[in-house]
Amino acid sequence: MSGKFFAALLVLALAGCKTVEGTLAKQLPSRTDISLNQVPVLDATLIPSNNGLLSSGINIVPGSYCLAGSNGTCDASTLSPAQCLMQGSTVVVAPKTNPTPSYDSLIDNKYTATVGGVPFISATASAEALDEVKAVIAGTAQISSTSPNNGYPGIDGLKACILKNQGPGTYDTVYWISAANIIDVTLNHYVQVSSTDGVTVSGFGVNGSTYNHNGVTEERIWIGLQASAIHIGQVSAGTPPVKERPLEPRPPVATKAFVN
């Protein structure tokens, strides 16, 4: 066998190996359990944990209130410095043991989702990468069901709290918070690969390409508020005490901590 003929066979053999390798890479199973760039319905009262709520203790959030912002929704930056609860009310804090994500999606560099102008997740900058986002409710703080009137102090009670904390004025709508969720958001990074070399069991296919986990995981914590919208109107030093009219039942929740 001549040297040139052997060299030609070797080139053909190597080319065949690359073809098989590339084919194998594209034969990895495609994800059918998850969508690409699915955007969750993010409630306006979903706030990042770096606002200090967790350091103060999430147990002080139920029973507090926030004022309506310019868009008419709860402005979390105006969260009251103290709880406004019926006397004898208690708050229960408990971990959530259900691992099922409230939200699960693959995202690419075209993904955008914001809460009040703050990115819910910062998408990858690479066109050759995908991230998997999972949001799980890790714990919740809520007013005990045995609390008088479910903890709700009524409009007059709220007015008394607002007068003490903010002073007299016209407040229109106030959001009284009955529960708060701790939402754990994880971001797993995957990179596109052109061969099966180094592909692990975490590899999968999407749109004819194969992606493999690069070992990097990020985590972010959000806090979701469940609040009722209550029309307050004028608050003045002459606001009558709670005893002067019947106590109203707690209004229905107008905002939810996390919706997918």
pLDDT for 25-71, tens place per residue?
A: 445 778 888 888 888 877 767 887 766 666 678 898 999 998 888 87
pLDDT in the model for residue 168: 93
Q: What is the mean pLDDT of residues 62-88?
A: 87
* pLDDT reading at 6 higher than 60: no
E-only strand ranges, the chain:
46-48, 65-67, 91-95, 103-107, 114-115, 118-119, 129-143, 169-170, 173-193, 204-206, 209-231, 234-235
pLDDT in the model for residue 247: 67
Amino acid at 77: S
Q: Where in the chain are the domains?
A: 31-244
pLDDT for 137-178, tens place per residue?
A: 888 999 999 999 999 999 989 999 999 999 999 998 899 999
248 Cβ contact list (under 8 Å, min separation 6):
152, 154, 155
